[in-house]
Amino acid sequence: MRYLTVMRDSRPATPPPPELMAEIMKLGEDAAKAGVLLDQGGLAPSALGARIDVADGSLSVTDGPFAESKEMISYAVYEVRSKEEAVEWCTRFMRLHQELWPGWAGECEVLQIFGPEDFQ
């Protein structure tokens, strides 16, 4: 099963500590060695993005930034046996932030990616 994890945070005043970045790299290497990490990356601020909406028969495009209090900052795609395994990888990632970036607050969503086999 494939899962997309999306992390959001409210940007603290300080940049990510180098120790955090080193531990994130190690965790990514561990997930890659385990054969579960398919893709990962950081996301640009919403100010550089756009949103496309369809409502009442109309399509509209709005340039960012968006008013959400938390910005999407990164994502990862895992191929794992269960939702619980995806949650465990994401929890490890979030725990690094909790332990190594004082004052940081954020959240991570774990969403299953459907494939053609899920619609048969």
Residue 94, CB-side half-sphere exposure with 13 Å CA sphere: 17
Task: Output the pLDDT for position 61.
Answer: 96
In a domain, 13, yes or no: yes
pLDDT tens-digit series, residues 40-93: 999 998 999 999 999 999 999 999 998 877 889 999 999 999 999 999 999 999
Look-up of token digits 């120790």:
19
Structural domains in the chain (count): 1
Q: Is 114 exposed, middle or buried (0-12, 13-18, 19+ CB in 10 A)?
A: exposed
Per DSSP, the residues of 85-102 read: HHHHHHHHHHHHHHHHST
Nearby residues of 82 by Cβ (< 8 Å), 6 or more positions away: 1
CA gap 75, 43 in Å, rounded: 7
Average model confidence (pLDDT) for the chain?
93
**Across-strand partners of 113?**
2
Domain-embedded: residue 80: yes
- The reply to whether 94 falls in a domain is no
pLDDT computed for residue 120 by the predictor: 80
Domain that holds residue 77: 2-85+100-119
Residue 109: pLDDT over 90: yes
**115: in domain:** yes
Q: What integer pLDDT is reported at residue 69 of this predicted model?
A: 74
Q: Does residue 92 fall inside a structural domain?
A: no
pLDDT at residue 43, rounded to an integer: 92
Residue 93 lies in a domain: no
3-state secondary structure of 49: coil
Decide which of 84 and 12 is more confident.
84
| CATH number where 66 lies | 3.30.70.1060
pLDDT of residue 119: 84
